[in-house]
Amino acid sequence: MKLESPNALAQAMRQFFADHLPRVRGMSPHTLHSYRDTFKLLLRFASSQKKQDVTLLGLDDIGPNEVLGFLQHLEDDRHNTPATRNVRLSAIHSFFRYLATGHPEQIEQCQRVLSIPFKRAHTRSVEYLEYHEVEAVLAAIDRAATRGRRDYVLFATMFNTGARVQEILDLRPRDLQLDKPFHARLVGKGRKERLCPLLPATAELLRAFLSEQGIESNSRERLFRNYRGEPLTRFGVRYILAKYCNRAKQGTPTLGAKRLHPHSMRHSTAVNLLQAGVDLTTIAHWLGLRVPR
């Protein structure tokens, strides 16, 4: 016989997503979406295993055995990497830590779920672009086209700031200071803000882009958008970068041997700053990293 009614799970999940994560933990919308996706998959899996509707699932229906089965399902059926599996498990751990405080009668179940270890994942070295390769990618963009001019400004700003792709996607015109001293206000992990210097050439590109798009400098709308007028996504940026890298590798063959993605631009900025003689402390501040001791 179940210790809790099915509504107990629904109530705990609602409080977890509506109050605990955004208000108590202060998590970003991006992290909330990642957690939400994890539980969509987990609930579907549990529903399939228990052969009952998702709305009838209770707290006892998602225990350590179900979680272990779900993790195996991710790797075997969805072909997720150990790194992705660990991201999903981290979200599940977070929920069960929260659950233990509100449902002490479930604490043994919570402890057993929390004891499920992360899997050691092989970490690949992140590729980066040498300066001449960055120039080749930028030169491959057709700036005669409206979309090409957007792409040029996007990648020039990414390379200048070394911003995480989500930081660039969240950039609003009001976050830009395009009169001296030029800088962009970036919101990073944990909603930490930093001011990142902009090169005069980057500031001029951004000024021209705002003017061409008819965007007010104090606008709160996201700066970079797709052809439908919707904010660009991480997948969109990845697709655009791959397109220009593929085009540029014809004249710069070294690009063809590299596995590049938007985060590569961030590493490229760090490496090029280091090669230019910038000290590690300044680079850490520039990228929004913990200052090395």
What would the pLDDT profile of 206-231 be if each residue is shown by its tens digit? 999 999 999 999 999 999 999 888 99
Is-above-0.75 flag for pTM?
A: no
Kind and range of the H or E run holding 247: helix 234-248
Torsion sign, CA atoms 136, 137, 143, 145 = positive
Q: What is the CA 227 to chain-centroid distance, rounded?
A: 22
Is 30 annotated in the active site?
A: no
> How much is the pLDDT for 181?
93
**d(C-alpha 173, C-alpha 214), whole Å:** 11
> How much is the pLDDT for 83?
87
Task: Report yes or no on 119 lying in a domain.
Answer: no
Among 20, 149, 164, 249, which one carries the catalytic annotation? Answer: 164
Is 23 annotated in the active site?
A: no
* Same domain, yes or no: 75 and 177: no
* Same domain, yes or no: 104 and 175: no
Is 247 annotated in the active site?
A: no
Which residue range is the domain that position 81 belongs to? 6-114
Task: Report yes or no on 223 lying in a domain.
Answer: yes
Among 50, 263, 267, 285, which one carries the catalytic annotation? Answer: 263
What would the pLDDT profile of 77-92 be if each residue is shown by its tens digit? 999 989 899 999 999 9
CATH number of the structural domain spanning residue 245: 1.10.443.10
CA distances from residue 161 to 70, 82, 196, 207, 290 in whole angstroms, order as listed: 39, 31, 6, 16, 16
Is 189 annotated in the active site?
A: yes
Task: Report yes or no on 20 lying in a domain.
Answer: yes
* Same domain, yes or no: 212 and 250: yes
Q: How is residue 53 written in tokens?
A: 């509707």
Task: Report, as ranges of residue numbers, the positions in the chain whose pLDDT lies below 70.
Answer: 1-6, 122-125, 291-293
Task: Report yes or no on 90 lying in a domain.
Answer: yes
